[in-house]
Amino acid sequence: MDPSIEISVARRRDAKAIAEMSRDLIENGLNWSWRRKRVLDTILHPDCVVIVARTRLKLAGFAVMEFHETHCHLNLLAVRPELRRRATGHALLKWLEESAQVAGIARINLEVRSTNKIAISFYEAHGYEVQTKIRGYYQGKESAYSMVHHLIAPEIAEQRP
C-alpha cells in the first residue's frame, strides 16, 4: 500500500465524509441510505467496525462491517477512484479479516451489485466466492451476488459448540 496512507478506526467526525463517499462511490443510482446519521450510529455501535484509509489530506477509502455471533457482514467498502490499484482496498479488507479472525468468526458474507465486475474481481482475488444471485436486492432496481469467504472451513465451523 502507498506508505502515506494509514488504516485506522473511524472517528465521529469522519461520518460525513464516509456518507458522501458511500453516496458517490457505492450507492450511485440508488436512494442514498448511508447518510451521516446512519454512519455515525454505526461508528458508535458496539457490534460494528468502521475503518478508514487516511492520507495526510483526506480519506482515501473506508469500510463498514457488522459482527454477528459466527459470521460478519461486510456492508460497505470503497476507495476513491484516483487512489485505486494501490492496495488500499486490500489493506482495508485485510484489517477487517484479521479482526474477524481474532474474534473467532467463521465466515464473512457480503452482497455486491451483479454488474460490478471490478468489485467481484477484487473479492475473488481475496478468496470470496459467489453463492447466489439475489434479484432486486438493491431497492428492487438491481440484482446482487451474495459472496462468502470462509475464515474457518465450514466442516470445522459446524462442529464448534
Ligand X SMILES: CC(C)(COP(=O)(O)OP(=O)(O)OC[C@H]1O[C@@H](n2cnc3c(N)ncnc32)[C@H](O)[C@@H]1OP(=O)(O)O)[C@@H](O)C(=O)NCCC(=O)NCCS
Contact residues for ligand X, defined by CB under 6 A? 25-26, 76-79, 84-90, 112, 116, 118-119, 121-122, 125
Identify whether the C-beta of residue 105 lies closer than 8 Å to the C-beta of residue 133.
no
Q: Round to whole Å and give the CA distance between 76 and 62.
A: 8
Which CB sits closer to ligand X, 43 or 74?
74
How many CB atoms neighbour CB 15 within 10 A?
22
Shortest spacing between CB 58 and ligand X, in angstroms: 15
The angle subtended at Cα 92 by Cα 76 and Cα 104, nearest 5°, is 90
| Residue among 123, 105, 114 at smallest CA distance from 63 | 123
Shortest spacing between CB 32 and ligand X, in angstroms: 14
Which CB sits closer to ligand X, 99 or 114?
114
Shortest spacing between CB 78 and ligand X, in angstroms: 4
Shortest spacing between CB 16 and ligand X, in angstroms: 18
Which CB sits closer to ligand X, 35 or 84?
84
